[in-house]
Chain A
């Protein structure tokens, strides 16, 4: 058996290893399995601990999305303890989420995704030479700038949270900090620096204001053709090169998406409840069914987890509140049986759903939700006109979010009232809580059940759980498994296309792809992605 190894650059190994097994026949992926290969047992550790233990432990579940975990952990306690959260605290938590997301966009885009465009496979592309100059690891002009910008974004986080990663500054009832004027003005200066040195000159090739005029696919194409600065920006070059190398033609997936929505409005979620959340967030949540072209609401009560194909000894179809997180002692890989540490998450009515920036943007295009909530029609329009999802559109959706996140960060800073409260001390009590947000890579939420002053049960369902989950008990493939099927493979011993699909989901697991011949079972290639 021969196997080839490709030099594909990963980033963001956050929860352990992901193995992807694909079978290739006649130049097309015909079947796929995604396997999460590390168990750390955070839910098991949290059992019996202090109700606030999640504020310390869960950010440490994920070094790249720690603020997102912290946000879920604090909102979960807020709902359980029935706290009052002052508007300054809502804004500061949102600012923390936004700056972590800006960090993550730059780190994923340059550190992981664009490196593939310098793969020798694309040497014939007319954009190749420029791609290498900009995006080659360590030495590429924009690679170095991107890594540096990712660190700068979380300097803002440190001003309010003390440090990034792994702060615990969001606490039930508010935030630990009480910033003063210099913290706010310094945050402004850093934000402005990011705009002037990266977002406008490098990322967009135009002002943020000009980019904000783009509301449709046609607008975007007109923008691209308008000036060489637009076409040659990192966004413009990404678009043109992706199109040329065919990334708009595969990586489709189930075509069903969801978001919890995020960024609670500072005046609408001061008495947080589980049921009141959806109508209180600026970026609305929901489900989008691409085949029916229809939006609907999303509810945590309808979440189910199957473990028939995962290494847990628990019944299938449970709501997370009812799970016990009981790991199997036997963990052999059996692709007809159990093969992953990730559970298979599904929605009781809508089935398997994809999470991530594409999902968020397809939902932002809907007319559902509250009239004051953020809507943006661009990505949904592209989805309709370009024939559905693809590797290219999934990555574009993430790139598109930079501008809206920048604007929301500005708004948080503008709205902070330095003489008002940052924290209202809550009364501790037993009960159930739920907190959610959108990490950059998709929907994240925590469930907490407090009994006798300690944690009876704590459950986390991360975006990666949704996207890399194995088959359900009924055999329905997970989102990435599904997106891989149908991917055309130009060279079966160098299936870079598989890597593109996996990386477009930005799973927070290091991903190793194993490619097999569907008829003989021979391993054709093995390589890392994320």
Chain B
């Protein structure tokens, strides 16, 4: 039996909504089959007021063990570092977070807001929002770089806007079934089991990438979205084309460029004018190249790719 507490700061509830889409295990299965005792979740039917505050204090004091603290949303510090713009159960949410994180055996940040700051932290960051252990790529965040949970772990980051339900449930199951030691984290504290592959792995447009056939505008069945439409699939770590969304598809399969939402810079270039759905180029070469590829190699690769392209690659292989 593992006690789980899920709180939301500056959040849209998108990760909760994503979590509710889960199957195998579903949210109901987590409770009934895996012995995860959801002490409280803002959408799943528990108390507030005195009784919740009593529970929160019991978790902080250790009277009730806090096995997993899940946080969704940013930590809001405005105005002037008081956190008053996000009050919860009678005080600023940030104060609850400090005390609960100190008591938790594992602390899990779910979604971009809790991991890196996400949308609320886009300049001018009106709510002075920050992630639990990062702000964008800067290590530290609200809890500080030195933070370790009682089991000796830094914050486990499950990014994404939102995170895929399977990424959430599988990590919770791993912890609840005593396999946490097998969860390896990368340098951004993301579980490697999900975040070592690229979004491009498994994309149905891979052949079009390989032979440099571009989808020059939306509404096309064929063509790679990287060259013109700003797709970040080749440099974004996430298994979106390996573990499909809603058991059906993914953004790139549906013709929508990957917006790189599992990386700390999301939304990239802070959505400055001219950057949305447009590949940024310099002398015709994308400014951001596939991870690990240098410019000279890229130019050579593209020349070869184009000359090697088979004739059928220009056909609509995804017939209506």
Contact = CB atoms under 8 A, between A and B. Distances in A.
Nearest to B219: A423
A176 B246 contact: no
A527 interface: yes
B153 interface: no
Nearest to B277: A52
B218 A56 contact: no
A40 B120 contact: yes
Interface in A227-255: none
A309 interface: no
A50 B274 contact: yes
Given A49-B273, A155-B248, A64 B13 contact: yes
A45 B79 CA distance: 16
B162 interface: yes
Interface string B185-218: 0000000000000000000000000000000011
Interface residues on B, range: 35 or more
A155 to B, nearest CB: 5
B131 interface: no
A263 B312 CA distance: 39
A167 B160 CA distance: 12
B306 interface: no
A138 B28 contact: yes
A50 B250 contact: no
Given A158-B248, A163-B240, A180-B319, 8 more contacts: A5-B47, A11-B45, A14-B13, A38-B85, A63-B17, A147-B28, A168-B259, A178-B219
8 closest residue pairs by CB, A with B: A9-B45, A423-B219, A63-B14, A41-B126, A163-B245, A162-B254, A158-B246, A422-B219
Interface stretch (B18-26, B99-107, B167-175, B286-294): B18-26
Given A3-B49, A5-B51, A177-B255, A17 B88 contact: yes
Given A63-B13, A66-B14, A44 B45 contact: no
Nearest to A41: B126
Contact of B48 (A14, A62, A512): A512
B255 A178 contact: yes
Contacts of B249: 158-159, 162-163
Contacts of B16: 13, 63
Contacts of A56: 259, 267, 271, 276
A421 B320 CA distance: 11
Nearest to A423: B219
A148 B246 CA distance: 12
Interface string A204-236: 000000000000000000000000000000000
Which secondary structure dominates chain B's binding surface? loop
Contact of B162 (A162, A165, A327): A165
Contacts of B80: 329
A60 B254 contact: no
Interface in A33-71: 37-42, 44-45, 48-53, 55-57, 60-64, 66
10 contacts: A10-B44, A13-B42, A40-B126, A40-B127, A45-B125, A66-B14, A171-B218, A176-B255, A178-B320, A527-B47
B135 interface: no
Contacts of B248: 155, 158-159, 186
Given A158-B246, A158-B248, A60 B14 contact: yes
A38 B271 contact: no
A11 B247 CA distance: 23
B14 A151 contact: no
Interface in A324-360: 327, 329, 331
A163 B273 contact: no
Contact of A50 (B12, B47, B126, B273): B273
B21 A175 contact: no
A169 B46 CA distance: 35
Residue of B17, B44, B48, B255 most packed against chain A (CB within 10 A): B17
Contacts of A180: 221, 318-320
Contacts of A48: 273
A63 to B, nearest CB: 3
A111 B275 contact: no
Given A50-B275, A160-B254, A423-B218, A45 B13 contact: no
Contacts, number: 263
A154 interface: yes
B49 A512 contact: yes
Interface string A149-188: 0110011011111111111110101111111110000100
A315 interface: no
Interface in A1-23: 3, 5-17
A328 B145 CA distance: 32
Interface in B95-114: none
Interface in B35-85: 42-52, 76, 78-80, 84-85
A144 interface: yes
A302 interface: no
Given A174-B219, A177-B255, A423-B219, A14 B12 contact: yes
A134 interface: no
B42 A176 contact: no
A155 B22 CA distance: 11
B162 A53 contact: no
Contacts of A55: 276
B251 A163 contact: yes
Given A63-B16, A166-B162, A45 B126 contact: yes
A54 to B, nearest CB: 9
B270 interface: yes
A29 to B, nearest CB: 18
B241 to A, nearest CB: 10
Contact of A154 (B21, B218, B255): B21
A38 B42 CA distance: 14
Nearest to B216: A425
Nearest to A6: B47
Interface string A418-436: 1101110100000000000
A355 to B, nearest CB: 20
Contacts of A418: 320
B219 A527 contact: no
A162 B256 contact: yes
Contacts of B245: 158, 162-164
Nearest to A11: B43
Contact of A526 (B27, B48, B220): B48
Nearest to A64: B17
B236 interface: no
A137 interface: yes
B14 A45 contact: no
B32 interface: yes
A49 B123 CA distance: 10
A115 interface: yes
